[in-house]
Amino acid sequence: MATFGYYLSQVARYGYFQVRLDDNWGAVSVSDEACKQAAEKWLTPLLTSAEQTHIFQRLGGCIDVTPAPRTKRPVVINRTKSSFEIELSSVDVASQQRFWTWALRHRKIFIVIPLKRFPLESLATECWDPGILTNVSVAVGANTLAFARHQSQSARNLVCVFTTMGGSLYVELFSRYGVLARLFEGFVLHCRFLNKGLAKELMPYRRERTCPS
């Protein structure tokens, strides 16, 4: 059976970890409620403190060409063939809810945030099942993965990439190993679990750290 130490070794090997943002176990599509909760609990605090935010198109075998809704949206300041950058001062998640729901469902949201502004204590309780996908490029995409690796080379930065797999929302976190190890521990100590096998492997470490001897 894998242990907390094993998972840390995988974080070091792959340079990232992921957490699930909803409890839609077995769902075939991302729900409106999941998008609403992810926008309120994750996007709002991260975008308030972000240094960069980009929206990447989903590339690969099936390109998602669903257009953005004709509704209130943030200002675009730079655009490439497969992505565009958001003017952060124009972001208001609450009033732009339909835009951000579209971005969560049909695109990949890429956020660079200074580590010192990352609200670990609050976000660690708003997710499930911290772990590692060994082939992260499947979820993130080669173009986004390369950009994430580049942006996370600085020890002061944390990169968060919002993706979907199946009917669930996930966020992948990239940074230097020392940073990721501390964050991974924080998520393990405070997250919730849907995956019973993962809980069996990681809960002993949580009990060891949180229960008085």
Question: Distance between CA 79 and CA 36 in Å, rounded?
Answer: 26
- Structural domains in the chain (count): 1
Question: Distance between CA 130 and CA 121 in Å, rounded?
Answer: 15
Kindly give the confidence (pLDDT) of every residue in the chain, 213 residues in length, as a single tens digit, with 9 standing for 90 and above.
Answer: 789 999 999 999 999 999 999 998 878 889 999 999 999 999 999 999 999 999 998 766 567 788 899 999 999 999 998 899 999 999 999 999 999 999 999 999 999 999 999 999 999 999 999 999 888 887 788 888 888 888 888 878 999 999 998 899 999 999 999 999 999 999 999 999 999 999 999 999 999 988 765
* pLDDT at residue 132 in the model: 93
* pLDDT at residue 212 in the model: 65
* pLDDT at residue 134 in the model: 85
- Per the structure, the complete domain to which residue 132 belongs is given by 4-210
* pLDDT at residue 62 in the model: 65
Lookup result for tokens 């409620």: 33
Coil vs helix vs strand at 127: coil
* CB environment 74-105: b (16+ within 10 A), e (fewer): beeeeeeeebbbbebeebebeebbebbbbbbb
Question: Distance between CA 26 and CA 68 in Å, rounded?
Answer: 27
Judge whether 28 and 167 are in contact, CB under 8 Å. yes
Judge whether 98 and 71 are in contact, CB under 8 Å. yes
85 forms bridges with which residues in the sheet?
Answer: 54, 78
Q: How many CB atoms lie within 10 A of CB 7?
A: 22
* pLDDT at residue 135 in the model: 83
